[in-house]
Amino acid sequence: MRPQIVKIYTCVLCLFASTTLFAAPQQVATEPPPPTLERTPGPELPIDSSIFILVAVAIIFGVYVAYRRHLATNAAQ
């Protein structure tokens, strides 16, 4: 019974996927708009000013994971 249910679910999934594919609106091939001299507005995030903190946290986390794996392999022996 289980293989039959899997086949039915697969067919239904393919049917739904193909219907959404055919129901999608047609994309009109147009050229992109010309670039402007203005800067595009976006969120101003200060990621560059605190990048050293992110690197330090990543190194500490890496050492923590390596230490835990070291303890797990020594405990298994």
Q: What is the pLDDT of residues 57-73, one digit of tens each?
A: 999 999 999 999 999 88
For residues 60 and 66, what is the distance between their CA atoms, to the nearest angstrom? 10
| Annotated domain spans of the chain | 51-77
Using pLDDT thresholds of 50, 70 and 90, give the confidence band for residue 2: confident
For residues 54 and 49, what is the distance between their CA atoms, to the nearest angstrom? 10
Q: What is the pLDDT of residues 27-41, one digit of tens each?
A: 666 777 677 777 766
pTM of the model: 0.40
Q: What is the pLDDT of residue 17?
A: 76
- What does residue 55 show for φ and ψ, rounded to 5 degrees? -65, -40
- 23 has pLDDT over 90: no
